[in-house]
Structure 1
């Protein structure tokens, strides 16, 4: 299971139509001209297109999230079967007087515990599965870059061999990823400068540490997770769930339909092709499921749209002084 974080159905369909994702296009059997292809219909009435004599291997199906359209709620539901009482990415729980944040390790661990207690099941990956780059473990024995276990002390016996150390212990991996990291930082600085000069709207701040955060998400996390998935496949694991967050990180800052985000989709498609090639050499057959946890819509921030932050609006509504800026 390869999760393309934040990629909406329309975004993926547009990317395939623009030939940005040839691997996905081949899986779907998409072609520029239907006249050159044979086609038939399945029992549900969905058209299946044959390209170059080869039937498509995948079908693109849209789905809708519930009210909480974000990674925490969606991935918890997918991996653990319940996202009960997850109203947003961040919320305040009066009972414990605590702010819950889905990408905070302590919160992720608590949400996972609640889901397991509610369903009575360990999760999607309990049968010899592996969880890579996710918020939650899914009950997998093999885990790397999983947020819900980040607070646990990992001994030599239970430490995953598919994390950062395993990847960067190979000098070739370390040098390639380091160079790509530096190049990505430069790419973000150039793209943000261009957007500012062109006065692109809506636009959010992309300064400070963000270029490094983006480079981590689009290069380091991607490389480590993809390498871990390939290792899992060659080891013949029953199931693997991996989250590739690159598009989501860039789309939040550059826009879901921006050229910056489209370039990231191109690189993700190459990662899918690499995993597909490894599947041919795996000791068992694999089905590759590509899915997403939510989509995105372009829009200005509350402060940019109304001239004050949401917190200041609440203070004003409560009759409290609002700081002038």
Structure 2
């Protein structure tokens, strides 16, 4: 049945000849992290694609190759993804910056900023983007020119019933089985984060950032809800035979920012991401056209303490102290604060 669907379309005419492309962005997964995960057997699907030995000890023919690359000065999702999807990340110096000519603070993951950054890139390149022709954008900051959109920040406002950015949620959760499975996984992930953060605090692991408040729910959304909705949308795109699909899975990036880029916490996330890749690989066998699955990352991560954890005061307090402005007493008592006021 799968072979027949590939040869002929729904109307009996010959199906598409050229293979489609599915781009899966593993947000924040650096080259060394991926290599280590494959070597330790955490990502057997990626290992199989690379021709690495699996659990059986046998190696197969490699279907993919692993190529490292370096970001430019702004090593973050906004700059990298804008360049990949729209061909230019000109004037994107950081994740957050102040523009003197407009007097506005630009933030890469703010909808209004994403809209403006995408507009500038399209204006500069004169091209709609990577996904302009029969493409789909899932879980990204930018649309890439695609008409089929789900969870895309730059088009957060409702556009239409079929291509509004939140359409992926409605389509996914309209299935009771999906809703129940994701809800249970969400709750389990919340308790997993609480347990892991408590363990890290008792072990006095450094560097460590705050993981209380709403963070367990934010993590569960990124690692469960966003992943499930995006993967389901990509499966739908593949079965619909779309030419190009670009999806961002942010689970690793979210956890690594709080738990560190290596360790047991992120190892569990990498295992689950590999299972998502395995599912897409299986779906490709039943799609009406052949697909090339491209796995890429937008940046890596390195461990480091926050300015406040390292020096006892925020960078803003240090600047205020150096300018002779009032700062909190706690900041005044730190060595850095006293030195700045001297």
Give the 5 Å matches for 1:245-264: 245-264=250-269
For the pair 1:134 / 2:140, whether they are aligned, the reply is yes
8 Å CA contact 2:151–2:165 kept in 1: the answer is no
Question: Unaligned regions of 5+ residues in structure 1, if any?
Answer: 38-50
Instruction: Please point out which of 173, 177, 180 is paired with 1:175.
Output: 180
For the pair 1:108 / 2:106, whether they are aligned, the reply is no
Q: Distance in 1 between matches of 2:168 and 2:80?
A: 24
SS in structure 1 opposite 2:36? helix
Could you give the per-residue CA deviations for residues 214-241 of structure 1, whole angstroms, max 9, x where no partner exists? Answer: 0000000000000000000000000000
Larger Rg: 2
Could you give the per-residue CA deviations for residues 12-42 of structure 1, whole angstroms, max 9, x where no partner exists? Answer: 0000111000000000011389xx87xxxxx
Instruction: Please point out which of 9, 12, 30 is paired with 2:52.
Output: 30
Instruction: Please point out which of 22, 34, 37 is paired with 1:12.
Output: 34
Q: Distance in 2 between matches of 1:179 and 1:134?
A: 25
Tell me what 1:44 maps to: none
Tell me what 2:234 maps to: 229
Give the 5 Å matches for 1:43-62: 51=59, 54-62=60-68
Q: Distance in 2 between matches of 1:155 and 1:13?
A: 42
Q: Distance in 2 between matches of 1:5 and 1:157?
A: 27
Distance change >3 Å, CA 305–CA 141, structure 1 → 2: same
Q: Distance in 2 between matches of 1:276 and 1:295?
A: 24
Tell me what 2:193 maps to: 188
Q: Distance in 2 between matches of 1:30 and 1:20?
A: 12
8 Å CA contact 1:76–1:82 kept in 2: the answer is yes
8 Å CA contact 1:6–1:247 kept in 2: the answer is yes
8 Å CA contact 1:162–1:228 kept in 2: the answer is no
Give the 5 Å matches for 1:258-297: 258-297=263-302
Question: Unaligned regions of 5+ residues in structure 2, if any?
Answer: 1-22, 331-342
After the TM superposition, which segments of 4 or more aligned residues of structure 1 sit over 6 Å from their partners?
A: none
Could you give the per-residue CA deviations for residues 63-90 of structure 1, whole angstroms, max 9, x where no partner exists? Answer: 0000100000000000000000000000
What TM-score comes out, normalization by structure 2 length? 0.88
What TM-score comes out, normalization by structure 1 length? 0.92
Tell me what 1:83 maps to: 89
8 Å CA contact 1:251–1:258 kept in 2: the answer is no
